[in-house]
A and B are shown apart, each in its own frame.
Chain A
Amino acid sequence: MSHDVPAGQNATGKRIMAHPVLGALPARASLAIAVDGATLYAREGETVAAALLANGIRVFRTMPTYGEARGGFCFVGRCSDCQMVIDGVPGRLACMTIVGDGMRISTQEALGSWDTDGGAE
């Protein structure tokens, strides 16, 4: 099929480009996001959780006591397993947060820490 996807959106091949019922993946703008310092591409309007899984990242945080890895579980804002540090604010739910251009996303270690001065700027 001749459906074009903006650069980087399907870097890992995990995007469902064609679907027998839903059809071709609708075109959306690409947004650059910084995940633990690396630049990745998301689709405008999607959640942080979806963008990370599309990029092959499934560990979103580690637990405070024993450090086990956690990813998203419910993806509907109930379970709190997907807490990440987003734009310097810890404890934000990756499944309920819509990606923004230039958004800074970090794996949350334990309870995470605040970094509201933006670090880089």
Chain B
Amino acid sequence: MKTVQIAVIGGGASGLAAAIAAADAGAQVLLVEEHPTLGGRLRYHLGPFEGTHGPVSGPARAAELIAEAKAAGVEMLAGTACWGRFADNVLGLQDGTRSWQLKADRIVVAAGSTDRALPFPGWSLPGVMSARALLLLLHVHRVLPGKRFAIVGNGAGIDELAHAISMAGGEVVARTATVDGVAAEGARGVTQVTIAGTGHAVDCVAIAGGAQPDAGLTLMAEAAHGHSDLLGGFAPLRNEDMLTTADGVYVAGEAGGICPVPVAEAEGRVAGNAAARSLGLGSAAELDRAKAGLMAVAAERVAHVAALPIAHRQLASTAWAAEGDLR
């Protein structure tokens, strides 16, 4: 079985940052990304984000991180999914044509998040899609899947979504924060959405219900998890090194709780440095610097919470205290 010192699962902001940090510390690093392209959400969130030389768009920030990872000697496999984690940190990987196992001394789970689906009558009609799906179509694939759009839900980022639609040439004709009283209709695809008794002709409906951490791998690793509305649902418990309760399994970015991009990157740097340190690589000073970097952007997570819909925010205040207890 092939072995690697540090395996990073996920090639978004947190995974790339973790891989760079670990490789810079001298570790042999393999990063896998299930999607055909690296970059994660940086591919479809336009930003601006803090780049190496100032503010840049998401795709530009992704390009910077990918180039940095390459230069640091990280082996990166796009189009390769991690489908399982077994005892002794053996991972199951597959790339669509073959499946194999890999033994890692340390694992950084940077698997990101999945959009929550908000069901309502007609939500499964063609033309009704998650907010993330629409952002991917608009910004990665450069396809405008409709002319007249409705946005259902009150997840973080609905204003960004509405702006993205209009920048791409579409029109947002209806928005509603709740699914109560919402119904989509159409024979072989959505043609109308009814909101509180009023019908709107639309050809695309985006469901923006927020996101939840992808906890599949940390659950398979039997790491302890807790439920936190602040973090977006079930998320692994972790210490200040981003280490879960599973031996050698670290988690960074949205796989550990919904967070803005700068927090994901900062968590990745902590996880990558800590994983390397645990193998006797890197330096304590570098790990401390990464932790200070995370503290410096922690306020952004608080601001992120402040931007959440009211119902979420009320729950989040208690969850925030709970998260403090976990650390």
Binding site for B on A (CB under 8 A): 14-16, 19-22, 25, 46-47, 50, 53-54, 58-60, 68-79, 81, 95-96, 98
Contact = CB atoms under 8 A, between A and B. Distances in A.
B2 interface: no
Interface stretch (B127-135, B228-236, B262-270, B309-317): B127-135
A53 B137 contact: yes
Contacts of A75: 129-130, 132-133, 136-137
B129 A21 contact: no
A14 B143 CA distance: 6
Q: Give me the 5 closest cross-chain CB pairs, A-B, nearest first.
A: A71-B126, A50-B141, A75-B133, A58-B126, A69-B188
Contacts of B139: 19, 22
7 contacts: A47-B36, A47-B141, A50-B141, A58-B189, A74-B129, A75-B130, A81-B124
A74 B130 contact: yes
Contact of A71 (B117, B127, B167, B168): B127
Contacts of B141: 46-47, 50, 53-54
A22 B57 contact: yes
B145 A78 contact: no
A59 B188 contact: yes
Given A69-B189, A71-B126, A73-B129, 14 more contacts: A14-B144, A22-B142, A58-B127, A58-B145, A59-B188, A69-B125, A69-B187, A69-B188, A70-B124, A73-B133, A75-B129, A75-B136, A77-B34, A98-B36
Interface of B: 34-36, 46, 57, 59, 114-115, 117, 124-130, 132-133, 136-145, 167-169, 187-189
B273 to A, nearest CB: 29
Given A73-B129, A76-B133, A77-B35, A54 B189 contact: no
Contacts of A60: 126
Contacts of B127: 58, 71
Given A69-B189, A74-B115, A98-B36, A16 B130 contact: no
A22 B139 CA distance: 8
B46 A21 contact: yes
Contacts of A54: 141, 143
A42 to B, nearest CB: 10
Contacts of B143: 14-16, 50, 53-54
A47 B115 CA distance: 20
B205 to A, nearest CB: 11
Given A14-B144, A21-B46, A76 B35 contact: yes
Contact of A21 (B114, B140, B167, B189): B167
A54 B137 CA distance: 9
Contacts of B57: 21-22
A108 to B, nearest CB: 13
A52 B143 CA distance: 10
A16 B165 CA distance: 11
B260 to A, nearest CB: 18
A74 B133 contact: yes
Contact of B117 (A21, A22, A73): A73
